[in-house]
Amino acid sequence: MTQIAVTVNGTRREADVEPRTLLVYFLREQLGLTGTNVGCDTSSCGACTVHLDGESVKSCTLLAVQADGREVMTIEALAEADGTLHPLQDAFHRHHGLQCGYCTPGMLMAAASYLKENPTPTEAEVRESLEGNLCRCTGYQNIVESILDAAGQMSGAKS
Amino acid sequence: MATEAHEDQAEIRGIGHSVKRKEDARFIRGKGNYIDDIHLPGMLYMAILRSPFAHAKLNGIDASRAQAVPGVVAVVTGELMAQHNLAWMPTMSGDTQAVLVTDKVRFQGQEVAAVIAEDPYVAKDAVELIDVDYDALDVVVSPQQALASDAPVIRDEKDGQTDNHIYHWESGDADATDRAFADADRVVSLDTFYPRSHPAPLETCGCIADVDGATGQATIYMTSQAPHAIRTVFALVAGLPEENIRIVSPDLGGGFGNKVPVYPGYVVATAASLLLGRPVKWIEDRSENLISTGFARDFHMHGELALKNDGTMLGLRTSLLADEGAFHADAQPSKFKVGLFHVVTGSYDMSAAHVVADGYYTNKAPGGVAYRCSFRVTEASYLIERLVQNAAYELGMDPADLRKKNFIRKDQFPYETPTGFVYDSGDYHGAMDLALEKIGYAELREEQERKRAEGKLWGIGLASFTEAVGAGPHKDYDILGLKMNDGAELRIHPTGKGILKISSKTQGQGHETTFAQIVAEEIGIQPEDIKVQHGDTDNTPYGLGTYASRSTPTVGAATAMVSRRVIEKARKIAAHLLEVAEEDVEFTRPTFSVRGAPDKAVTIQDVAFAAYTNFPDGMESGLEAAYYYDPPNLTFPFGTYAVAVEVDRETGVWQVTRMVAVDDCGVRINPMIVEGQIHGGLTEGYGIAAMEQITFDETGNCIGSNFIDYLLPTAVETPRFELGETVTPSPHHPIGAKGVGESATVGSPAAYVNAVIDALWPLGVRNIDMPLTSAKVWEAIEAAKAPA
């Protein structure tokens, strides 16, 4: 067992983990943060996307020990503490950007990270940015519209 | 109690409203409750050892090294299961399937043994330490190999099974079809293979079995699209009293047919929980999902279309070989061995058709399911739509014109097809005209001429599908004898809110929203005030579940009918409140008023309160009802899809430049959700046409066991869709709806492929079997270039 200390959703969490424990299982099984899903085991689908030090990563491809001393944010912390939805969450709801919901946490986290890099993307850029996140239900069209809408809301709010 | 009727009452958001989904609130916050999110106290974890061989005799299993791993609680083998008479189980099609192998393995990935441990990682470690002694046997990987006289017999454990043949099935009239062909000027034929694909929902399958040794109560959380049918099958398999079995299907991360069958893992986990007295969780990994659970298609098709020189279609002949894998677990209605393939005459009026099908065992995974389609209507639609395009070119006609010439006309409905379906309603010309207009068909054809002159490969493909969904009427449709009828229960609470309990199970289709809208439409209580309960067999009425686009045709109908039953009683209470005779009460939701005195009125909410507080003498209190719906017929959604593609001559890469989809699914309950379903279907149809295939090498190794080999469309290559609609209500469905979940997967593969074939037609290319990978397209171009 290895001791790690990870700041998860703003709270410092200390834990003993097996060195081989994947970050996603640390989050799900040890911390009970089951919003992050596992879809493929081969880092193809992106259902497990979380933020590590502010950047999106696939938590099935990282070991928990690699997060030692770093900050992780999961879908559970995307909305404000008072429950106010992130503009992306609100846009996914309004544009029917989700169906079964299984890819949704990963999609939202990937998109939130991407919009920080590129706050005013084109449709093609949004599609490109989602290449690592698979959805079997929506055909992506409404996801793309949700992200473009949220980008507009967020950049509009800033300006 | 009577109140003034309000003229400014909020509009009831019933049918036709794009109500935002109730389901979203939990999913966008990461608060979904999928199978792997459920954690029970004292829970153990199961991992399955699978066969590396496709066909091999099992000599013995030595689990001693695995047993010795700290944290391992038990190793379950076929021998142990056999002691409890659970080594084999029935399949959805009445065959048997090994739960854990006892004699020989019959496909790569078959379940050989299971480890139950305190920790999931330990269970997987221990699986690696089980030693199995196999003798490899000769392997059969296609129905063509399976039917050879010297082929090894895969199911030699079955009494009287001396070869690999499972069934022979026919539909239509052979003699009439022969006569139609004798009258033909021209016969156009096509041999094509609809490859094995996999529904691959983003969440894999899994379960948690929790058997209480003291009470005998078995609660099984399971990724199931059909929890009630599964409960009955479990009662039959395990001999457990059915009242002691509770199947809870939690939030499902997609299904697409993959979560219909019973899988060995469910049975082993339940047996292990029974033996160990603790809950046992089993979650497939992605590779297990792709190599061992319900695949789709794997269908070799030969079709012949008989025509007059003027394009009049006379008849259709097809012969089919189905690769069913090692156990016949194809979830089809009992009577129909290749499902509803006999809808193959599609949207066309012709006098005769004949379908001949044979199914074979092979050393491949079992569990044939209809990946987002109603019982092989996808294969049927693909074959006829490919044939029609090829026929048009051979006759020198435009494919749109040939279709329009032969479409069943609007005034011919109800229309009986030569294989015995009675299509309920349709306007095929209307849907096609709209699709052609939206894509600018005439201009596109002109542009194609110009591009061709420049040496470019440009193609336009059409598909005008007709589906047969909503199984179905009890006289024809059952699975394992269970009639395909479905139920709904509606209870209105004193405060005017309610709960609807349904037998279907949403996997993303939005039942919690849509079905509440049906209630709203019927009784006038807003959809947000109606909770929809599904997936828990202890708390929902019986029914066969959600697949084959059947939820709206069956459960949607049951929901409308149960709402009307509630209104029947509500009317009596309203009469009591209004102090008039029941015949004098008019209902215009949400208000009951006195005929001729509309100001004297009560709302449904007033009535609901009175049902518990102020009901007439002699009446039962409460306001609730149940309804089981037996559809009088299937429903027949249809549409026309139009695709434009550009093919790169040098690389074979093809890109969709336009994709127009006009769907007619009858009345649309929630247009936003309907369009979402169509987007999803068009994408899975694109995946099937372009990239999705589970292949096997000659020794039965499964290639396509992960998302690196089994390719799924991403946002980058998925086309942008342009949707259109026509609305032709189903005349026999209570709200005129037909079902839409699968239309686009059924209709679109032929449209994409027709577009690519159209691009390559001048080169002499007549067929490329799906998936149309760039490599295959490039090979076809190169082969066409080569001198004959």
φ, ψ (nearest 5 deg) of residue B283: -125, 120
Is A47 in the B-facing interface, judged by CB distances under 8 Å?
A: yes
Domain termination residue (choose one: A77, A107, A127): A77
Percent of chain B with pLDDT over 70: 99
DSSP codes joined into one string, B98-131: ESS-SSEE-STT-EEEEEEESSHHHHHHHHTT-E
Return the residue of B nearest to A128 by Cα: B716
Indicate the SS3 state at residue B674. Answer: helix
pLDDT at B706: 95
Evaluate whether residue A118 is within a structural domain.
yes
- Residue B57 and residue B97 in one domain: yes
CB-nearest to B679 from A74, A108, A138 is: A138
CA distance B399 to B464: 11
| B602 shares a domain with B571 | yes
Q: Are residues A110 and A50 in the same domain?
A: no
* Shared domain check, B227 and B83: yes
Tens digit of pLDDT for each residue in B57-111? 999 999 999 999 999 999 999 999 999 999 999 998 889 999 999 999 999 999 9
> Å from B691 to nearest chain A CA?
14
List strand residue ranges (DSSP E) for A59-141, in order.
71-73
Q: Are A126 and B715 within 8 A, CB to CB?
A: yes
B707 and B558 belong to one structural domain: no
Domain for residue B681, yes or no?
yes
Residue B720 with chain A: CB contacts under 8 Å: 141
Q: What is the mean pLDDT of chain A?
A: 97
End-of-domain residue from the set A77, A106, A121: A77
My answer on whether A60 and A28 are in the same domain is: yes
Task: Answer whether A16 touches B (CB < 8 Å).
Answer: no
- Among B681, B633, B667, smallest CA distance to B739 is for B667
pLDDT for A158 equals 63
Q: How many domains does chain A have?
A: 2
Chain B residues lying within 8 Å of A94, measured CB to CB: 20
A74 vs B30, B37, B684: nearest CB: B30
Can you tell me the mean pLDDT for A53-80?
Answer: 98
A138 CB near a chain B CB, below 8 Å?
yes
Q: How many domains does chain B have?
A: 3
Which residues of A fall within a CB distance of 8 Å from B29?
A: 35, 75-76, 78-79, 89
Chain A interface test: which of B19, B26, B39, B202 (most A C-beta within 10 Å): B202
CATH code, domain carrying A136: 1.10.150.120
Of B656, B660, B688, B663, nearest in space to B755 by CA: B656
Mean pLDDT of chain B: 96
Instruction: Answer yes or no: is B554 within a domain.
Output: yes
Give domain status of residue B174, yes or no: no
Total number of residues shown for chain A: 159
Residue B433 lies in a domain: yes
CB contact (8 A) between residue A96 and residue B121: no
Quick check: is B576 in a domain?
yes
A142 & A121 share domain: yes
What phi and psi, each to the nearest 5 degrees, are found at residue A154? -70, -40
A105/A66 same-domain check = no
Helices assigned H by DSSP within A66-103: 87-94
Closest of B204, B292, B194 to residue B688, by C-alpha: B194
Residue A92 lies in a domain: yes
Selection from B138, B58, B140, B160 nearest residue B105 by Cα: B58
> Looking at chain A, which residue has its C-alpha nearest residue B713?
A134
| Alpha helices (runs of H) in B615-738, residue ranges in sequence order | 671-690
CA distances from B482 to B451, B549, B769 (A): 56, 18, 37
The first and second tokens of residue A71, run together, are: 């900050």
Contacts of B479 (CB under 8 A, 6+ apart): B92, B229, B331, B332, B333, B334, B544
- What ipTM goes with this model? 0.98
Dihedral of the CA atoms B238, B243, B246, B247 (nearest 10)? 60
CATH code assigned at B769 = 3.30.365.10
Domain boundary among B629, B659, B690: B629
Over the stretch B653-684, which tens digit does the pLDDT of each residue have?
Answer: 999 999 999 999 999 999 999 999 999 999 99
Segment B22-34 shows an average pLDDT of 98
CA B624 to centroid of chain Cα atoms? 31
Examine the domain organization and report whether B448 and B577 are in the same domain: no
Q: CB B151: neighbour CB atoms within 10 A?
A: 18
Q: Is the Cβ of A5 closer than 8 Å to some Cβ of chain B?
A: no
Q: For residue A51, tell me if it sits in a domain.
A: yes
Which of B617, B615, B521 is CA-nearest to residue B571? Answer: B615
**Is A82 part of any domain?**
no
CA B372/CA B218 separation, integer angstroms: 31
The region of weakest confidence among A119-123, B26-30, B235-239 is B235-239
B511 and B574 part of one domain: yes
Facing B254 at nearest CB: one of A33, A74, A102: A102
Q: Three-class SS of residue B210?
A: strand
Q: How far apart are CA B694 and CA B38, in angstroms?
A: 31
For residue B717, what is the nearest residue in chain A, using CA coordinates?
A127
| SS3 call for A28 | helix
Question: pTM of whole model > 0.95?
Answer: yes
| Residue in A44, A92, A127 nearest the CB of B707 | A44
Check whether residue A71 and residue A116 sit in a common domain. no
Indicate if B221 and B102 belong to the same structural domain.
yes
State residue B460 phi and psi, 5-degree precision: -130, 125
> In this structure, are A130 and A63 located in the same domain?
no
Q: Is residue A135 part of a domain?
A: yes
Using DSSP bridges, classify how beta strands B131-136 and B56-62 pair: parallel, antiparallel or unpaired: antiparallel
| Closest-CA residue of chain B to A46 | B202
pLDDT at residue A159 greater than cutoff 90: no
Q: What is the percent of chain B where pLDDT is above 90?
A: 95
Q: Which of B611, B198, B608 is nearest to B364 (CA)?
A: B198
DSSP notation for B450-483: HHHHTT-EEEEEEEEEE--BS---TTT-EETTEE
- The answer to whether residue B54 scores a pLDDT higher than 90 is yes
- Domain end, chosen from B600, B629, B658, is at B629
From B445, B436, B449, B458, select the one nearest B756 (Cα to Cα): B458
Q: Are both B673 and B747 inside the same structural domain?
A: yes
Min Cα separation B507/chain A (Å): 6
Among A60-64, B230-234, B321-325, B411-415, whose mean pLDDT is lowest? B230-234
Q: Are residues A150 and A93 in the same domain?
A: yes
- pLDDT for residue B788: 60
CB contact under 8 A, A96 and B20: yes
Q: Do B30 and A105 touch (CB under 8 A)?
A: yes
Nearest CA in chain B to A78: B29
Report the residue from A35, A102, A127 with minimal CB separation from B202. A102
Q: Which of B629, B658, B676 is the last residue of a domain?
A: B629
B571 and B605 both lie in a single domain: yes
> Helices (DSSP H) in B277-330: which residue ranges?
286-292
Which residue in the block uniquely carries the two structure tokens 């507080």?
B613
Q: Is residue A131 part of a domain?
A: yes
The predicted pLDDT at position B238 comes to 80
Q: What is the pLDDT of residue B1?
A: 42
CB contacts of A98 in chain B (<8 Å) are 24, 27-28
- Tokens 């209480």 correspond to B212
Q: Do A28 and B36 touch (CB under 8 A)?
A: yes
Q: What angle do the packed helices B511-523 and B557-578 form, to 10 degrees? A: 40
Please indicate, yes or no, whether residues B509 and B658 belong to a single structural domain of this protein.
no
A108 → closest Cβ in B28, B121, B252:
B28
Q: Is B101 among the domain residues?
A: yes
Active site residues of B: 225, 372-373, 742
Claim to verify: residue B508 and residue B545 sit in the same structural domain = yes
B716/A74 CB distance under 8 A: no
B90 and B113 belong to one structural domain = yes
A18 shares its domain with A65: yes
Question: How does residue B785 score in pLDDT terms, banded at 50, 70 and 90?
Answer: confident
Using CA atoms, how far apart are residues A32 and B328, in angstroms rounded to an integer?
40
A56 and A94 part of one domain: no
Say if the Cβ atoms of B32 and A45 lie within 8 Å: no
Q: What is the CATH number of the domain that holds A33?
A: 3.10.20.30
Measured CA to CA, the distance from residue B659 to residue B461 in angstroms comes to 10
Domain hosting B587: range is: 24-32+486-629
Over residues B294-336, the pLDDT tens digits come to 999 999 999 999 999 999 999 999 999 999 999 999 888 989 9
Distance from C-alpha of B428 to C-alpha of B728, rounded to nearest angstrom: 10
Residue B399, preceding bond cis, omega within 30 degrees? no
Note whether A65 and A7 are same-domain residues. yes
Within its chain, how far is the Cα of B544 from the centroid? 12
Give the C-alpha separation, B694 to B295, whole Å.
8
Find chain A residues with C-beta within 8 A of B509's C-beta: 99
Does residue B299 lie within any of the structural domains? no
* Distance (Å, whole) CA B550 – CA B506: 12
Amino acid at B28: I
Q: How many contacts (CB atoms, under 8 Å) link A and B?
A: 167
Inter-axis angle of helices A104-117 and A87-94, to 10 degrees?
130
Range list of H helices, B524-641: 557-578, 604-613
Identify whether residues A35 and A92 lie together within a single domain. no
Phi/psi class of residue B396: alpha, beta or left (left: φ > 0; alpha: ψ in -120 to 50)? left
Specify whether the CB–CB gap between B219 and B230 falls below 8 A.
no
| Residue A34 burial (CB count, 10 A) | 22
Q: Which of A59, A77, A95 is the last residue of a domain?
A: A77
**Which of these, B223, B196, B198, lies nearest to B209 by C-alpha position?**
B223
Residue B1 lies in a domain: no
- Using DSSP's 3-state secondary structure scheme, residue B191 falls into strand
Report chain A residues whose CB lies below 8 A from the CB of B284: none
The structure tokens listed for B85 are 């008479």
Query: Of B332 and B362, which is predicted with more confidence?
Result: B362
Range of the domain at A129: 87-158
B20, B30, B712 member nearest A134 (Cβ): B712
CA B550/CA B66 separation, integer angstroms? 45
Q: Residue B118 class from Cβ within 10 Å (0-12 exposed, 13-18 middle, 19+ buried)?
A: middle
The alpha carbon dihedral of A100, B484, B247, B223 has a sign of negative
Does A94 share its domain with A47? no
Is B488:B426 a contact under the CB 8 Å cutoff? no
Contacts of A126 in chain B (CB under 8 A): 715
